[in-house]
Structure 1
Amino acid sequence: MTANAGVAGAGDGVYTESAAAMWTNPATMSYMGESLTTINLMAFDLKMKFHDADTPAQDGEAQSYLPSISIFHAHQVSEKVHLGLALGAAGGSSLSYGDDWAGAGALDSITLNVIVLNPSMSYKINDQWSVGGGVQFSWAAFEQTTKLLTAEQDTDWAYGYNLGVMYRPTDNIDLGLSYRSKSEHEFNMDVKTPLGVSDIDSLKTEVDVPEIVDFSIRYGINPDLNLLGSIQFHRWSAWDETVLDLGTPVGGVAIKREWDDVWKFAIGADYRLNSDWRLKTGFSYETSPQDDPEKQWVDLPVGEQYRYSIGASTNWDDVGIDFFYEYADLGEVESAKRSIAGGPGVGVNGIFDGRIHFLGVNFTI
């Protein structure tokens, strides 16, 4: 969910010209006036390639195109209090490698969609300080298939909260600090298999979304140019393993993750070209949560990420329109086979290479 479209997320926790900023920091609503509504329309093109180190004929490729819509509304109910509501896709993707690639025994296709409803409130202490908080209701749908198993879609609700504070010492400087709690989704999926093994008829697993801490800043060099920055901390270290429980007497199979915490750094600029147009650009970098090839897994190979973004905004009558494009370089991630529960090596030997194209527009009234 992008507030200031075109700057790679830089300064989202202090941006007050889009109601979408409440997602990162609910305290921003105190500076949004009497009423502000933002509709975000976005589509992305995700591609993952796998280059097999053992048998090139078992290379794999998966690609998906997904649209999304998010809606945000902030409304002032008193001199000091704003109420807000955010509804939209908070994450997820769909990938299908087919059953001919090297990792088909562990993953053929996977789909995860997460939609969040996040009511929130802000309180303006004075002209310089505001605080905010909200409750998140997260709905997720998950399904996965391998060459031998089909785990049918299951859905789950999870709950959490978010908090934020914003400080505006002068008209040229905004500072924001916010926190979003962890969400834990549990899925219990019916399983179909051509093996005829009656004991395998279900799959239980969990998908976690980590805690996020965001620090954002805006510095207005002059009335035409704003510099933006953000530092985020994603607490992925809490995700030690994924347990796949097939309901057999053997018990669950644990896939070791042992991820590290992730840091994201974003910088951007917002420049007024003339009375009709503003131009924007941004860049962000995320550290890798896992650098050990034997602890990468086919469902979510991860490494360093680099994002490059450009955008432009204008007004049509009373409607603000922000166009943006963003390219995410997911880098090259080396994967190696591992032993699970003392068995033979499973997984894949090779390199995953991924990228995402994002294209979208925000309408703000």
Structure 2
Amino acid sequence: MKKNINKLTLGVALAAAATAYAGGVQAGAFQLNEQSISGQGTSFAGRASNASDASTVYGNPAGMSFLDRAQITAGATYLDVSNDIDVKEATDALGRDVSGSSGDDMVPGSTVPSFYYVQPVSDRVTLGFGVYAPYGVITDYDSDFQGRYHGSYSEVKVVTAQPTISYRINEKWAIGAGVTYNRIEGELTSNTTGITSDGEVSIEGDDEAWGYNVGVIFKPVPSTTLGLAYHSKVDYSLEGSADVSDLLTQFGTFSDSGDASLDVTLPESIDFGITHQIDDRWTVMAGATWVRWSRFDAIEVETDTIVGTIVEEQNYKDSWQYAVGLSYQLNPQWLLRTGLAYDNSPTVDTDRSVRIPTGDRTIFSVGAGWTPIPDLTIDMAYTYLWEDAVTVSLTDDSSGTFEAEYENEAHGFGLGATYRF
């Protein structure tokens, strides 16, 4: 048995902690989309151009200039995820067949919150602040999951705080920018092959990093708004610990613990949106987002444990997300919304893992805004997401073989409120 047994298991675990693989209603790969309940109702179509409430702090900071007074927007989306997994083959590092659970429904329900505040300070300058979750995951396979040597448990949280400013150049143009403070923390485990029972690799890590968002809005005519927003890349240097128990090598079984570190970059994105008010009741919107996932091409994990340094190829590809939406002003109190979106996955077939078994996805949403009094709007949204079936096919000396087909779907239930003063 080679000494590098289960090196890849540790590499995948620590990599997942750093990159916040998502298992809910998300954008491409492991991005979360749930930063706005009003936006959720239209599948986030025209997010960069539709400044309907204070959540524009995230969607496009220039949009704050088109809000006529101070307001607070807060909300949360509950994610209910289902996974149907058909295991074709599972062996451990010793070549033995692995029996047990297929791992269906490995993602427990979770809630994604957000909060924003916008305050005009003059006819041209508006200040804002937001707290939201751009990435996150909780993936909890059964203890006897047949693919447990490639990943068994993941819990990662990324929280971003963003102070923001916008400037109204004239009636047609506005610009905005925000600085983002980002904190990531995670806990990951994977099993290791033993003679009579499994060992375990456990990873914990965290980091803090800075980024920025900028945006511009142009209104060529009062009924049409064009928006362009840029979300910067964020460079993390994750520091944490690695604990290895009952690691089987040709020299025997070992346990070890020590420090672990990983440098990783989460990619930049460019979001274009257009919103057009057809008449007093109907508004249409559309958007396209490009994400530079090709930055995520390889993982290099350094540890001072017996497993040493791990290098793993990822080979992500750049991805696009598209959305169209529609809203209808039923009466002064009720605004109805719907939308359809399509996200192509940046993962490639040769490197897809049990931690991110995702494919291209289609998203359908409906929503409503209820304004019982002029100062208060209650937003509600429902999203249904389904993914193309994908195959996870993994083979290596350190973790054995696992091949399975995944079919994933999710339901998102959003509730929020905006208060103006």
Tell me whether the two structures share a fold, i.e. TM-score over 0.5.
yes
Equivalent residue of 2:148, what SS? coil
Shift in Å, 1:109: 0.3
Shift in Å, 1:235: 0.7
Equivalent residue of 2:63, what SS? helix
Of 343-352 and 150-159, more deviation after overlay is shown by 343-352
2:111 counterpart (58, 63, 67)? 67
Is the alpha carbon distance of 1:153 and 1:49 closer, same or farther for their aligned partners in structure 2, counting shifts above 3 Å?
A: farther
1:251-271 per-residue CA deviation (whole Å, 9 max, x = no partner) reads: 322222101101000000001
Point out which structure has higher relative CO (alpha carbons under 8 A, 6+ apart).
2
Contact in 1 for aligned 2:315/2:348 (Cα 8 Å): no
CA distance in 1, matches of 2:330, 2:229: 31
Q: Which residue of 2 aligns with 1:290?
A: 347
Structure 1 gaps, min length 5: none
1:215 counterpart (272, 285, 303)? 272
1:304 counterpart (355, 360, 381)? 360
Is the alpha carbon distance of 1:209 and 1:47 closer, same or farther for their aligned partners in structure 2, counting shifts above 3 Å?
A: farther
Of 221-230 and 100-109, more deviation after overlay is shown by 100-109
Contact in 2 for aligned 1:164/1:179 (Cα 8 Å): yes
When the two chains are superposed, the root-mean-square deviation of aligned CA atoms in Å is: 2.0
Q: Which residue of 1 aligns with 2:214?
A: 163
Shift in Å, 1:302: 2.6
Aligned letter for 1:279? L
Is the alpha carbon distance of 1:207 and 1:362 closer, same or farther for their aligned partners in structure 2, counting shifts above 3 Å?
A: farther
CA distance in 1, matches of 2:341, 2:179: 28
CA distance in 2, matches of 1:151, 1:221: 55
Matches within 5 A, 1:174-323: 174-195=225-246, 197-206=254-263, 208-248=265-305, 251-292=308-349, 294-317=350-373, 318-323=375-380
CA distance in 1, matches of 2:361, 2:311: 27
> TM-score, normalized by length of structure 1?
0.93
Shift in Å, 1:131: 0.5
Aligned letter for 1:353? E
Aligned letter for 2:202? A
1:24-74 per-residue CA deviation (whole Å, 9 max, x = no partner) reads: 210000001131211112211223343211258552120211123211111
Aligned letter for 2:78? A
Is the alpha carbon distance of 1:250 and 1:95 closer, same or farther for their aligned partners in structure 2, counting shifts above 3 Å?
A: closer
Contact in 1 for aligned 2:101/2:142 (Cα 8 Å): no
Structure 2 gaps, min length 5: 1-34, 91-98, 192-198, 247-252
1:37 counterpart (72, 81, 87)? 72
% identical aligned pairs: 26
Matches within 5 A, 1:65-214: 65-147=109-191, 148-195=199-246, 197-206=254-263, 208-214=265-271
Aligned letter for 2:359? G
CA distance in 1, matches of 2:49, 2:139: 34
> TM-score, normalized by length of structure 2?
0.81
CA distance in 2, matches of 1:252, 1:151: 16
